[in-house]
Structures are given as C-alpha cells and as structure tokens.
Amino acid sequence: MRKIAISDGDIQVSTRQLPPEGPEPKPITPAAKDWMLFLGFAATVLTMPIWLQPLGAAYPDLLQKFAIFGIFAIGFNILFGLTGYLSFGHAAFLGVGSYAAVWSFKLFTMNVLPAMLLGVLVAGLFALLIGFISLRRAGIYFSILTLAFAQMSYNLAYSVLTPITNGETGLQLRGNDPRYIDRAFGVESVGLPQTNLFGIDMSGYPGFYFCAAVLIVMFLIAMRIFRSPYGLKLRAIKSNQNRMAYTGFNTRPYLLGAFVISGMYAGIAGALLAVTDPLAGAERMQWTASGEVVLMTILGGAGTLIGPFLGATIIKYFENIFSALNEAELASAFSFLPPPLQEFAVTIVNPFVGEGWHLTLGVIFMVIVIFLPGGLVEGFRRIGRLFRGRSGKRTASQAEVQPAE
Amino acid sequence: MDAILLQVLNGLDKGGAYALIALGLTLVFGTLGVVNFAHGALFMLGAFCAVALNEALTWEIVTVDPTRTTAWGTPLEVRQPYLEAQFGDFGAFLVDFSVPLAILVAIPFMLLVGVIMERGLVRFFYKRPHAEQILVTFGLAIVLQEIIKSVFGANPIPQGAPDMVAGSADIGAWFGMAGSIIYPWWRIVYFLFSVLIIGIVFAFLNFTTYGMVVRAGMQDRETVGFLGINIQRRFTIVFGIAAVVAGLAGVMYTPILPPDYHLGMDFLVLSFVVVVVGGMGSLSGAVLAGFLLGILQSFASMTEVKAILPGIDQIIIYLVAVIVLLVRPRGLMGRTGIMET
C-alpha cells in the first residue's frame, strides 16, 4: 500500500464522480494536503501539554522525551522506511550526539545552539564514516555491520575512550569546566550552570517547547524529503535496487545520503537529550536502544510520515506508565474484582509492569511484526477502508494503479 | 612460547561456545532460510537449565528439631538437602555433578522449545522479508530473557564444576615446561565437549540418511519435496537440533561464566559476527571462524598487545568482521551466491 505522491491533481479530478452542474469544486492538491498535515502536526505537538492532561502524561520531562524520541524515530524512518535498509546501530549516533553536546557545554558555552550544531556535525561525520563502509552490503549483512559498529563504539566508550566519555559514570558538567565563550562574556554561575537559549533556561516547559519546535522543523524537513524526487529515488531503491541500477542510477550515494541524514537526526535527538539533562552515558549507545527505535518506527508504521512520531510517543508513554506501576497499585486497580480473581489478575499482570516493562515491550514488538507489519498507520487505514466501504476500496485500488502508469 | 600457547588455550573454550552457537545459526539459516535473532536466547535458556537443575537438586527440607533450641529459644530448624537425606553419598554426588547432568535435562527441553518455536512462530515467517524475521525473533529474544529475569532474578548465578575437574591442570608439564601454563580443567572439558558436539552434528548430517536428505533439502528444497519426502518436518527437527546445540553450549558454559538473563544477547551479537566471518550458510566456516575469533580475542586481550593498541580486545571481533565483509563478502568459506549482496 505505498502511495507515491506525484503532483497529480489532474488525474484525481478525472477519476472522481463530478457533480453534473455548477462550478467545478477546487480539488485538494497533494501539496495542500501536506500543508494541512504539517499544520495539524504542529498544532498537535504544541498543544500536547493540554490534551495529554487527562492521560496523566502532561509533565515536561515526559513531553520532552516524546519530542526527542520522535525526532530520533523520524530520522530512522528516513533510512528504514524509505530505503528498507534496517540499521541496528542508530543508537550510536544518538550517543555521539549527546557526548558532543555535553562537550560543547563543558568547553564553550551553556547556550544550546552551538551544542546542537556540534552534535549534528559530529553525528553526521560519524554516520558518513560508518555508512560509507556498511552500505557496501545490503540485507542482513548491512544490519550486522551497523550492529558491529554500534557495539564497537559502545565498548570503546566504556573502555579506552574513558577520557572523552567518562566511562560508566557518564559525562557530566562540573563547576570548574572551562566554558571559554561564557567566561569571555563574563557569564558566571553559582553551582552547576543550566543549559539555556539566550538566557531562557532549558528545563521544564521552555525545554519542551524548544524540543517541540525542533521536532516540528525536523518533521517539515522529513516531509520535504518524502515528497522530493530524492525521496522517490530512495523508495525506488527499496522496491527494486537492481532495476534502479539498470536505469543508470548509482544508488550508493543516495543511500549514503539517507544514512547520513538519519544519523544527523539521531545526533540532534542526542544533543536534545543532553540539552534537557546535561549528562551523557554510554548505555544510550547499547544495541537495545537501537532496537527500541526500530520498534518505535515499526509500531507507528515504517515509511509513513507521522508513524514514527506516533510510535515513539506510544512507547515512551507506556514505558513511563508501566514501569512506574507496582504490585500494590495493580491490586487497587483490580479491586473491582472478587478477591480470588483479583489475586489471579495481579499475578498475571505483575511480571509485565515495573521492572518487567521490557517483557511488555517484547510482546508488543512481536504482536506488531506478526499481525500488523505496516504499523498503526496501516491499521488505521484498514479501519478507515472498512468504514468507507466499497467506494473507499475503489479509490484505494486506483491509488495503487497510478504509480505503475 | 608458553604465553602464546596459553592464549590459544584461552581462546579455545570461548571459541567453542561461539562455534556451537554459530553452527546452530547456520543450520537454521541453511535449512529454513530464517535469520534467527533468538538463537542467543536459546543459549541462555540452556544455561538456565543447569541453574534450574542445580536449584532443584539442592532443594532443602526443613525439619524442626524439638529437642534442641536456638540461642533465641525457638526450636532449631534443621536444613538438609533432601537428596542427601534420601540418598546419602549418591545424593551429594548428584549435586556435585549437576552441570553435566543438566545436559540430560537440556536435550529434551531444548528440543521441545526449538520445535515449538519453529511450529508456533518461525514457520509463519518463511516468506516474509529478512527484516521482519530479524524483528520478530528479536522480539522473542526480549520476551524469553525477560521471562528468565522474572523467574531467576537479574543477578548472575554462579555454578560450580564437579570437584573432579574443578582445579587447574599443569599443562606445561606435558610439554616439558612444568609450571609455566596452569589452565582450568573445566575449560579443557568445555573445549573437548564442543568438539564432540560439532563432530556429532557433522556425522549426523554427513553419514546418516536423515542427514543426507536434510543436506539435499538445503540444496534444492523443491526437488526433495517432489520425491515425496516431507522436508518441512525434517527442517523442523533440524531447528530443534540447532536449539539443542545452543542449549548444550549454554549448559556447559555455566561454570565458566555465571549465567544472567542477558547472557544470550551478549553471545548472539558475537555469534552473528562469527557466522558472517565464516560465511553465511557454511557449517564448517562457522566452526572455523568460531575458534579463530575466540583465539584472536584472547590474543587481543594480552597486556602486550593492549599496550600497543589500547582497547583492541573490546573491538577485535567486530573489526575482523568489518574487514572480512569488505574484502571477502561471502566470508571465509561461504559459497557464492548465498546472501551475497
């Protein structure tokens, strides 16, 4: 069910049942649809503190995580969703971005912009290096190569690179860090300084709005990539790389481009993690973290625009809710049941919450891959098609035919 | 000289574990064409077979001795392993040999797990893309390790080797250099054990009719099917055998490394690298690469080497894999055309 959006307003008009009289209604062009989607997305993200209130998720720490991991997943989707190359090492770029950002705080200034710039830059260069080597192979070999590189970086961060990464303790800010630029401007702080954007402290809601703004910009960029000829080429690589090569395209530069872009997204996400909490640890680079971003993308729907953000939000939300639950709270939640049943329900559910959150994660992972490989977006589409009935089916099939023409 | 020999020995037991896991991975990939990310979890399950048996054998019965009291005045509770209470010395012997005995438990258990896994999950993924196979087995691996974590806890559980082979051997004496190489017996046992298992698997595939049919199915599944052979059932059994091999590798590894729930994941990543280096689909390549990388890793952790290249012991295996993939994409002994893209 891949829809390829070419600006094909004319075709859509011709296939639609036109009303017999009156002026022709102005068709909604795909570009206009995109802008509506974008505005809707921006509005949804910015109003999250309001509409997440009833779900108990409207506090800045969690909202920041939604935005940050949304960026991470959106970036991962540019590689995995468009080209089909499954990287198992993207957490390495996130970690590198974090380290770079914290170093920027330590060495230069507590302003977040240079930190993010440095994070993106370093992550991008790192992605260029790894992508250049890994993309010589496809399929599982590519997955294993990226995994190998990520594990390598993780192991090195824990052992030899301790002077840079501060090993197991994690890289932290200190009162006596040089911060040359801040010192040069005479900015002094008592105790540990706060990250700031020209004087606005990046904690709490300002921090969230900053992350949200970055997320919206990143979403826009991803959308432009999806709709551009470049994005179309990436999709072509996914559907048939050989044929793409026969038509005279050297696919590797395109792939490398996608890899580096998604690495830079991860770098931004990593830098934002450091912005909201200036501490970078190597566990961010572990391959379970890479697995998590894969899960977020798949859960939402790989290859779709809003899927990855949706998946990231859901995962982080449930992680937050589930890992906070304990046996006593479960017992009170099931208190409406008669005592033996209540005990039974608590015993059943207990391994899945608190410490056992990862078990739930694994189960979700399997269920999604088995039953809904297209992710939630695909699920919504199916439900929508169910409701629209026959006419919906027909337009859907036409949409499928169009790209082949 | 003795230092080099010691490092080779050091690499053998780890290499044995890599080889056994990689062998199973290759078997599954060669027969079913499935990339099984849950294979490391099978290794871990095997290790916990040993833990479970040990816990069952050391189960204690508590009897209250009314004639004696503790310092607090309460009746004294006498704890006694029930095996010793029931069987005396033989019971103590059983407890001592719990790890080798766990093999007997692990074989049927792992076979069952393997067959259930194949029938219940993996078979629905033959026709799906490799990415989805990786993802679903990855999810299964998480589930398995979390179940183990919730049953046995998050901490490593040390297991002892039998007293008979608990000490160290003075291997240097065999070569006329007494006292220069002291090496734990159990690691030698592990190496011999892994060679034995590898030998059995190869003999099974090469010298039995059943194995011959399996090999034929690996070559050309359709034709074997046309001959009226239910190749699918044989492949299911092969999946079970791969699970058993991984499980046994895990059982015997427990005295070397106390198992914890993420043991499987740690070994899985390395074993995949081993498979890739050996050549996807080549059984002998997997074994060779397993031992080779195990030995390489132990050489890289020599202090002399680390002094020149700091941190090399952490990354040597990945580094080798990257180089092999770039220079010789099909691996050391891989056949042409298998996943070579």
Is A156 in the B-facing interface, judged by CB distances under 8 Å?
yes
Q: Which residues of A touch B134 (CB under 8 A)?
A: 86, 140, 143
Residue A8 has pLDDT above 50, yes or no: no
Give the pLDDT confidence score for residue B1 in this predicted structure.
Answer: 65
CA dihedral A257, A263, A268, A272 (to 10 degrees): 170
CA of A117: how far to CAs of A112, A214, A275, A338, in Å?
Answer: 9, 12, 12, 58
pLDDT > 70: percent of chain A: 86
Give the pLDDT confidence score for residue A263 in this predicted structure.
Answer: 94
Instruction: Find the residue in B nearest to A350 (Cα).
Output: B150
B341:A138 CB<8 A: yes
B135:A298 CB<8 A: yes
Q: How far is A160 from chain B (nearest CA, A)?
A: 5
Q: Which of A158, A291, A355 sits opposite B138 (nearest CB)?
A: A291
Q: How far is A294 from chain B (nearest CA, A)?
A: 9
- Residue pair A71/A261 in contact (Cβ under 8 Å)? The answer is no
CA of A237: how far to CAs of A82, A90, A140, A145, B341, in Å?
Answer: 8, 20, 16, 20, 14
Give the pLDDT confidence score for residue B309 in this predicted structure.
Answer: 73
Q: Which residues of B touch A (CB under 8 A)?
A: 35, 121, 124, 128, 130-132, 134-136, 138-143, 146-147, 149-150, 154, 265, 269, 272-273, 276, 280, 310-311, 314-315, 318-319, 321-322, 325-326, 329, 339, 341
Amino acid at residue number A275: V
Is A366 in the B-facing interface, judged by CB distances under 8 Å?
yes
β-bridge partners, B65: B76
CA dihedral A165, A170, A175, A177 (to 10 degrees): 10
Instruction: Find the residue in A nearest to B150 (Cα).
Output: A351
Cβ neighbours of B240 (radius 10 Å): 21
- Residue pair B289/B278 in contact (Cβ under 8 Å)? The answer is yes
Q: Which residues of B touch A92 (CB under 8 A)?
A: none
Q: Which of A148, A294, A363 sits opposite B135 (nearest CB)?
A: A294
- Residue pair A179/A122 in contact (Cβ under 8 Å)? The answer is no
Cβ neighbours of B172 (radius 10 Å): 17
B146:A362 CB<8 A: yes
Structure tokens belonging to residue B105: 């438990």
What crossing angle do the helices spanning B130-152 and B263-278 adopt, rounded to 10°? 150
Instruction: Find the residue in B nearest to A140 (Cα).
Output: B130
According to the per-residue pLDDT averaged within each range, which of A182-186, A294-298, B265-269, B320-324 is highest? A294-298
B276:A294 CB<8 A: no
Give the pLDDT confidence score for residue A255 in this predicted structure.
Answer: 92
What are the structural domains of chain B? 2-60+84-164+182-327 (1.10.3470)
Chain A, residues 267-306, CB within 8 A of chain B, namely 287-288, 291, 294, 298
B142:A358 CB<8 A: yes
Residue A256 has pLDDT above 90, yes or no: yes
Task: Please choose, from the candidates B304, B2, B10, B14, the residue with its C-alpha nearest in 3D space to the C-alpha of residue B181.
Answer: B2
Establish, for the pair of chains A and B, how many residue pairs have beta carbons separated by less than 8 Å: 115
Q: How far is B144 from chain A (nearest CA, A)?
A: 8
Cβ neighbours of A338 (radius 10 Å): 8
Q: Which of B124, B134, B318 sits opposite A152 (nearest CB)?
A: B318
How many Å apart are CA B33 and CA B217, to the nearest integer?
11
- Residue pair B165/B186 in contact (Cβ under 8 Å)? The answer is yes
Structure tokens belonging to residue B129: 């893309």
Is A372 in the B-facing interface, judged by CB distances under 8 Å?
no
- Residue pair A312/A70 in contact (Cβ under 8 Å)? The answer is yes
Residue A268 has pLDDT above 50, yes or no: yes
B321:A145 CB<8 A: yes
Task: Please choose, from the candidates B296, B301, B303, B325, the residue with its C-alpha nearest in 3D space to the C-alpha of residue B314.
Answer: B301
Q: Which residue has the tokens 């302003």?
A: A111
Under-50 pLDDT residues of chain B? 339-341
pLDDT tens digit sequence for A115-131 = 889 999 999 999 999 99
β-bridge partners, B229: none
DSSP letter string, B11-40? HHHHHHHHHHHHHHHHHHHHHH----TTHH
Q: How far is A327 from chain B (nearest CA, A)?
A: 14
Structure tokens belonging to residue A337: 């049941």
CA torsion through residues A274, A276, A277, A282, sign = negative
Q: Which residues of B touch A288 (CB under 8 A)?
A: 265
Q: Which residue has the tokens 């004639």?
A: B67
CA dihedral B108, B112, B113, B114 (to 10 degrees): 100
Task: Please choose, from the candidates A382, A403, A111, A84, the residue with its C-alpha nearest in 3D space to the C-alpha of residue A259.
Answer: A84
Strands in A273-324 per DSSP E: 279-280
A143:B134 CB<8 A: yes
Cβ neighbours of A70 (radius 10 Å): 29
Alpha carbon B327 to its chain's center: 29
Residue A389 has pLDDT above 80, yes or no: no
Residue A275 has pLDDT above 80, yes or no: yes
Give the pLDDT confidence score for residue B332 in this predicted structure.
Answer: 78
Q: Which residues of B touch A366 (CB under 8 A)?
A: 121, 136, 139-140, 143
Give the pLDDT confidence score for residue A11 in this predicted structure.
Answer: 46
Domain ranges of chain A: 30-285
Give φ, ψ of B80 to 5 degrees: -145, 130
Query: Which site among B121, B132, B270, B315 would you substitute to test the A interface, given the most A Cβ atoms closer than 10 Å to its Cβ?
Result: B315
Tally of CA atoms within 13 A in the half-sphere of A261 that contains its CB: 24
Residue A78 has pLDDT above 80, yes or no: yes
Q: Which residue has the tokens 């259930």?
A: B116
Q: How many residues does chain A have?
A: 405
A359:B128 CB<8 A: no
- Residue pair A121/A65 in contact (Cβ under 8 Å)? The answer is no
Q: Which residue has the tokens 């990593």?
A: A270
Q: How far is A403 from chain B (nearest CA, A)?
A: 23
Tell me A111's DSSP state: B
Task: Please choose, from the candidates A238, A366, A361, A259, the residue with its C-alpha nearest in 3D space to the C-alpha of residue B133.
Answer: A366
A148:B132 CB<8 A: no
Mean pLDDT, chain A, whole residue set: 80
